[in-house]
Homo-oligomer: A and B are copies of this chain.
Amino acid sequence: MNYSAKEIASFLHGTIEGNPDVVVNKVSKIEEAEEGSISFLSNPAYTPYIYKTNASIVLVNNDFNPEDGLKTTIIKVDNAYNSLARLLELYQKSKPEKKGISSLAFVSASVKTGENTYVGEFAYIGENCTIGKNVMIHSHCYIADNVTIGDNCILNSGVKIYSHSEIGNSCIIHSGAIIGADGFGFSPQTDNHYKKIAQIGNVILHDNVEVGANTTIDRATLGSTVIKKGVKLDNLIQIAHNVQIGENTVIAAQSGIAGSSKVGDNCMIGGQVGISGHLCIGNNVKIAAQSGIGSNIADNEVIMGSPAFDLVKYRKAYVHFRNFEKLIKRIEELENKIKSLSKE
How many Å from the CB of A339 to the closest CB on chain B? Answer: 9
Alpha-carbon distance between A182 and B156 when the two chains are bound, in angstroms: 10
Number of interface residues of A (CB under 8 A): 106
Copies of this chain, tallied across the complex: 3
Contact A213:B178 (CB < 8 A) given known A27-B200, A144-B157, A198-B91: yes
Q: Counting CB contacts under 8 A, is A85 at the interface?
A: yes
The proximity string for A residues 320-338 relative to B, scoring 1 for CB distances below 8 Å and 0 otherwise, is 1110110110110011011
29 contacts between A and B (CB under 8 A): A29-B223, A88-B198, A106-B121, A122-B124, A139-B142, A156-B160, A160-B213, A172-B196, A178-B235, A181-B235, A184-B212, A192-B247, A193-B208, A193-B230, A194-B232, A214-B216, A218-B235, A235-B238, A238-B253, A254-B274, A272-B292, A290-B306, A307-B318, A316-B324, A317-B322, A330-B331, A331-B334, A338-B341, A341-B341
* Apart from the given pairs A184-B212, A193-B247, A271-B274, 15 other A-B contacts in the complex at a CB distance below 8 Å: A29-B222, A91-B200, A160-B213, A178-B214, A178-B235, A184-B234, A192-B266, A214-B214, A238-B271, A254-B256, A289-B292, A317-B322, A317-B324, A321-B321, A338-B341
